[in-house]
Each structure stands twice: as C-alpha cells, then as structure tokens.
Homo-oligomer: A and B are copies of this chain.
C-alpha cells in the first residue's frame, strides 16, 4: 500500500486526515472520491444514529448528552452536525456556537460540522460520504444531527440505522405538518423540554397519529415508510415489527437521556434479531448510491453546459423571454447526455 495517502491516515484513525478529507467532501472537490473509494471496503462497522427535528427542539443538547453517555460505555463517537449555513457566514456562526465544548479535549469524540454550501442534493451526498469517513476511521457510533425537516433531512435519516425524531411542545401549527413528514423515518420519538406545558399533548398527538397509521397499514413501517424510494426499504414481517416508542426527556437537565440510549440499543437489537438490519443496510446502500448517481449526473450536465460557453445563460435567457420552453430544453439536453 502506498504510504501517506489521506485514506491510509484516515484508516489509522488520524483525526487531522479525516478532517482534511471531510473538508474536501464539503467543498465537493472531485479528488475526494479516490480517497472515499479506498476507504469504502473498510466501512460498515459503525452504528449510525440520526437525530432530527425542527429548529429549537434542543437536538444539540441531546447529542451532547448522548455523546457523554456513549463515552461512559467506552465507545468512540463521531458527530456530524449538518448545518444549513452558507460558506460566507458559516465560519463566524460556527465559532459563535460553542458546540459541545465539554468534549473538546476528549480524543474519543470527533465532531465535524457540514456547511453544505452546495445544493441540488449535495447535502445528502456529503453527509453520506462523511458518515463513511467516520466509519472508516473506526468510530463505534456516528451521530448525525440535522437541522430542519426538509426532504434532505429525510434522505439523511434513511442513512441511519436508528433515527430519533425530536419534538418540543408549543411549536405552533406547522408541527402538525412536520410530524406527518417525519413519521415515516422515526424509529424513536423524543419529546424534549418535557417540563414545558403541552409535552403530554405532543405525546398524545404522536400516539394517535401512530395508531391511525397502524390501523390503516397494518404495519408501522408499511406504505408510508417506503414512499420516497419505492420498495427499497421493505416492511418488516408482521411478527417482527418495531413500534416507534415515544419518550419524554429534558436534555438540559440530563433527564431521560439514559433511557433514550437504552431505546436506541433496543432498536439495534431489534434490527439484528428481525433481520431488518440487513434490509436496512441494503436500503441505506440504495439511498447512498442514488445520491451519488444524482450528483454525478447533475455535475456532468452542468459541466457540459459550462463547457459550451454561455449555454446555461442562453438557456435561461430563452426561457425568461418565453421563446423556448424549459420542459423541451430539459428533454433536449438530457437527450444530448444520452438520457
């Protein structure tokens, strides 16, 4: 093996090498791909936990507490905080957020924020790649924290073995919609800030939504779960179903976090016992493949348009003036690309 490649250093657990590679991933540098390919055969060992939910729900505090609990068990931890910040303001903001400073001197904890400055699906691809880097460097557990509840977050949740959806009381009427969107990806619901008024109401609402789903589908992960990737994540057999538990906690006061970790462990055991883990690995693989393929196709298309100087500008101008229609142009250019 050629000495000194970034991939070799990552495989030895070198934090600086991993940081450098993840920066390249975040910047969408093409040369990151060679390193990722070298790492890939050595991935698949880490347990990936997704923590998602609306802004202000205290996800960072929960992640912080989970890290502390996992460290007590002697496990090494990687944390990927997906941050919808721009390249411009990202630095200052991340500096302001004294993120989990309690773990700053613990070499068993490796924290990386993803600024995801690209778009067009780049977030999912970059997150998947960073999970693989942390996996390859030997982290036992990788925690992925996503801000927001958009489709990207749902894609990312499908890259986790266990997805914890965090909710809080009093988020206004949008919460109804949010709950529905994340119902499908939740393995565990955590109602944080449980001392606030309305926590029990959130629990009740979740419970009745889960009941409605169960009644309608006969399976907690039935028709809904696979909506975004038809058939890729199969429903478990009826006798080996996972019913997403709902837990109240108060991460700020460190109340309930141990119980949350115990539920995550139960879910992991369920995945192993039921054979669902293997099915989920395939679903994760399909999701990761599709995000890579999508980015690859778009990159090729945009590079082609860029090489033909002014082509995108020309296309935009013709559409803006209504002298060409975008459907036809997309068809034509996809055709030129062989699609």
Give A contacts to B, CB under 8 Å.
33, 36-37, 40-41, 43-44, 54-60, 83-90, 92-93, 96-97, 116-123, 147-155, 170-178, 180-181, 183-184, 209, 212-213, 216-217, 223-224, 227-229, 232, 278, 281-286, 288-290, 292-294, 296-298, 300-302, 312-313, 315-317, 319-320, 322, 325-331, 333-334, 337-339
- Tell me which residues across on chain B come within 8 A of A281, comparing CB atoms: 320
Residues of chain B contacted by A296 (CB below 8 angstroms): 330-331, 334, 339
Q: Across the interface, which residues of B come within 8 angstroms of A86, CB to CB?
A: 180-181, 183-184, 224, 227
Task: Provide a sorted-by-A list of 27 A–B residue pairs whose CB atoms are within 8 angstroms.
Answer: A55-B175, A55-B178, A56-B170, A59-B174, A60-B174, A84-B154, A86-B180, A86-B183, A86-B224, A86-B227, A88-B224, A88-B227, A90-B180, A96-B176, A97-B173, A119-B155, A120-B155, A149-B150, A150-B152, A151-B152, A232-B312, A285-B316, A286-B312, A292-B327, A297-B334, A297-B337, A337-B337
Chain B residues with Cβ below 8 Å from A54 are 54-56, 148
Q: How far is the CA of A320 from the CA of B281 in the complex (A)?
A: 6
Which one of B122, B151, B317 contacts A150 once the chains associate, using CB atoms below 8 Å? B151
CB pair A93–B333 under 8 Å, yes or no, is: no
Judge whether B334 and A315 touch: CB under 8 Å. no
Residues of the B chain whose Cβ atoms lie less than 8 Å from the Cβ of A322: 40-41, 43-44
Measured CB to CB, the nearest residue on chain B to A36 is B327
A130 to chain B, nearest CB (A): 14
B147 touches A174 (CB 8 A): yes
Instruction: Return the chain B residue nearest A216 by Cβ.
Output: B88
Q: With the chains together, A33 CA to B54 CA distance in Å?
A: 34
Shortest Cβ distance from A312 into B: residue: B286
Evaluate contact between B333 and A41: CB separation under 8 angstroms. Answer: no
In the bound complex, how far is the Cα of B289 from the Cα of A93, in angstroms? 32
| CB nearest neighbor in B for A278 | B320
- Residue in chain B with minimal CB distance to A294: B298
Q: Please name 5 further chain A to chain B contacts, defined as beta carbons within 8 Å, in addition to the given A44-B320, A284-B320, sorted by A numbering.
A: A89-B213, A117-B227, A121-B121, A293-B330, A294-B298
Complex Cα–Cα for A331 and B263 (A) = 39
Residues of B within 8 A of A326 (CB): 40, 285, 288-289, 292
User: Does A84 contact B149, Cβ atoms closer than 8 Å?
Assistant: yes
Q: B174–A56 contact, CB under 8 A? A: yes
Complex CA distance for A45 and B39, rounded to whole angstroms: 52
Q: How far is the CA of A317 from the CA of B223 in the complex (A)?
A: 22
Complex formed: what's the CA distance from A261 to B326 in Å? 31
Q: Lowest 3 A-B CB distances belong to which pairs?
A: A338-B338, A150-B150, A56-B172
Q: How far is the CA of A278 from the CA of B92 in the complex (A)?
A: 33
Least CB separation from A292: chain B residue: B330
